[in-house]
Each structure stands twice: as C-alpha cells, then as structure tokens.
Structure 1
Amino acid sequence: MCACFWRGEDRLAKNRETCHKGKVISYHAVSEEWFLLSSLVLPPLEQLIEKEQILELMGLLTERQRDIVILYFYYGETQWEIAKELGITQPQFLRRL
C-alpha cells in the first residue's frame, strides 16, 4: 500500500485517541477555510483571461503610472514609500494612482 494510506491511518488513530481522552475536535473552522479558499481560486481559463485584461489595461498607462501600480499592488509598498522613491508628494501619488 502507498505511504499516503498509512499517514491517513495514523491521523485516524490519533483522532480516536484524542476522542477517548475527552478532548473535543472540531473540523468546522477548517472546512470553512477550505471552502473559502476554493472560491478564491479562479479556473485556469478565467485566470488567463484576467491576466490578459490586466496586461492590456497596463499598456494604456504611462510608464510612471505603471511603476506606481506595480510598486503599490504587486510589491506592496506603501503610498509614502512610493512617493518618496519617485520624488513626489503623497497627494501627487494619490492623483497618479
């Protein structure tokens, strides 16, 4: 038998042991999290379409606007960090974003 079968058996045995000790095991939160995760992942075709749309829209921006979008949304830099890096004020940053 494959190793994954034995790992599953080990998990079941540990769960039974925990149950017999009087501890409560709840899988409700875990199952909710997996449900949410599956709803966040787009099917491959939709991912491709979304990527193409983003690239098309990025092509409409000026180079400086693209830099701001990339730094802010992809690298997670703050407005203040980007403004300082580009030599502009934070209000100027907001107008360009």
Structure 2
Amino acid sequence: MWDLEAGTERAVLTGHTGWVFAVAVAQIDGRSHAITTGDDGTVRVWDLISARLTSVTYIPLGGTVLVVHDNTVILGMASELLILQLEKPA
C-alpha cells in the first residue's frame, strides 16, 4: 500500500498464497477497505487505515473479476458469479 502524496510505501498486505487478480475499494462503517481475490480461492477484506486483514471468505474457484456496489461484492469466477454481502466487523 502506498501513500500517494508522500510517494512512500505505507504497508504490505500479506495473506494471499497465489496471484491476486482483482482489487476493489469500499467504505465499511465509514472506513476505507480493499477487497481482494485471486487464484488461492479466497476473498479478503483489508482495513486500509490500519492495514489489517479483517475477514477471509473461502470460495470454490479463484476470483478473476471483482465489483463492489453499496455493501455488495460481485465476484466473477470462471463461468460463475458469486454475490457476497459486506458486514461491518463484530
């Protein structure tokens, strides 16, 4: 993760065990989050303020396309679509 104003690296988000194919950004409970997916069969949600992983969802295939609208994640996997509802952390 980069600080674009300072031009410096702020954090490295680690967790995926393979290639990351898609990233989207969403507001959850007023905070910026990144949602990522790739060939390791997971969807991960990262708090961009704290640079912490907040949730992991296991999916049957690696995701290749990711769209977030309101609190809904639409994920493309091969010839399938998966729809997930984002919830704020407990």
Q: TM-score scaled by structure 1?
A: 0.25
Q: Which has the larger radius of gyration?
A: 1
Question: TM-score normalised to the size of structure 2?
Answer: 0.26
Q: Which structure has more helix as a fraction of its residues?
A: 1
Which structure is richer in relative contact order (CA contacts within 8 A, separation 6 or more)?
A: 2
Higher strand share: 2
